[in-house]
Amino acid sequence: MQLLCYLKDIDFLGTLTALDDHGMIRAAICYADLEEAKVWQTLPEAAPMADNWDAFVVTYLIEEYQSKPMQNQDDLGEYQWKFAKISALLIKTKKLAEMEQDSMFLNGFLRAIADCIHH
């Protein structure tokens, strides 16, 4: 929940101050916890020339769950809730196609599990 609030705050403040997507990505990394910032800096969507805030947010959520595998239904429910909340907003604002949503959701699982779900 804290992550979603943090990212919403960055988005809100970035919009108020007329930051472009690149600026919002830089701000999110700059003001994040040191450990989070280290992880975020490794994402291709956070590269020095990255300029897609929405892709950065979704990719981080997926990366977060790939790095801490879901162990029970509560973990799955948390991932599904967070993903649905973010992706619904992106679909509503036409920044994500509905067809991409399912594929991106599967990316949050370890590859072996995603393959089983897909089949």
Instruction: Give tens-digit pLDDT for 33-55.
Output: 888 888 888 888 888 888 888 88
Is 18 or 45 the better-scoring residue by pLDDT?
A: 18
Count Cβ atoms within 10 A of the Cβ of residue 94 and give its class: 0-12 exposed, 13-18 middle, 19 or more buried.
exposed
| CA–CA dist 33, 94 (Å, integer) | 30
pLDDT at 13: 93
